[in-house]
Copies of this chain bind each other. A is one copy, B any other.
Amino acid sequence: MSDSERETRHKARMARKKAVIDAHIAAADEERGLLLINTGNGKGKSSAAFGVLARALGHGLNCAVVQFIKNRSDTGEEAFFRDHPRVKWHVMGDGFTWDTQDNAQDTATARVAWEQAMVYLKDPAIDLLILDEFTYTLKYRWLPLDEVTHELDGRPAMQHVIITGRAAPEGLIEIADTVTSMELTKHAYHAGVKAMPGIEW
């Protein structure tokens, strides 16, 4: 096959692809608030949510973040976003389960954070709400799944919500619009590299 034949075939293949994609785009015409879940054991669940936060702010949206596990306020993302006039940022965790080692305390902490989240879930002025590391509150049964799905279903029609964390339960996945599973293929940490500021936190 000559170069010009190859170019002609490439052009024809791409023209067919474009027709299929354009038809899909035309068919997708509903507008509403989305529920996105970033789950899986890989990296990027929270950072993808914070990337969307940047994107949403770039479009002028009002945003809120509730962090359910994290109890440190020295992260790069918080330093970067917390003073933005259209972001409300709440670090409401108590650290990891293996740090607290106290299930009753973890349950109480999760409840307080969830009360804060519910304030935003009733507020149509919030366009994007990020519930960071929220899945653990369900995994460890600190919060009842049916209460959570009920509140999510009842939120303002145009409000987007992003939930992050490993092991998202089936009942949450059922009501979500978009679910991504971040899978770990390779991790520098296992090769002995320290958690680098600006990359890992």
Contacts and interface: CB of A to CB of B under 8 A. Distances in A.
Interface of A: 6-7, 10-11, 14-15, 17-18, 21, 24-25, 27-32, 34, 36, 38-40, 42-44, 46-59, 61, 75-81, 97-104, 127-128, 160, 173, 176-189, 191-199, 201
Contacts of A36: 43, 199
A181 B182 CA distance: 6
A46 B198 CA distance: 16
Contacts of A51: 44, 46-54, 77
21 contacts: A10-B101, A10-B103, A14-B101, A17-B97, A31-B194, A31-B196, A34-B199, A38-B44, A40-B183, A43-B180, A47-B49, A50-B54, A50-B55, A51-B53, A54-B77, A55-B198, A56-B76, A58-B79, A61-B198, A178-B187, A179-B184
Contact of A76 (B44, B59, B77, B176): B59
A48 B55 contact: no
A59 B197 contact: yes
B180 A180 contact: no
Nearest to A34: B188
A18 B75 contact: no
A180 B178 contact: no
B97 A14 contact: yes
A180 B185 contact: yes
Contacts of A7: 102-104
B55 A201 contact: yes
A52 B55 CA distance: 13
A128 B26 CA distance: 37
A184 B177 contact: no
A77 to B, nearest CB: 5
Given A196-B160, A199-B52, A14 B98 contact: yes
B180 A193 contact: no
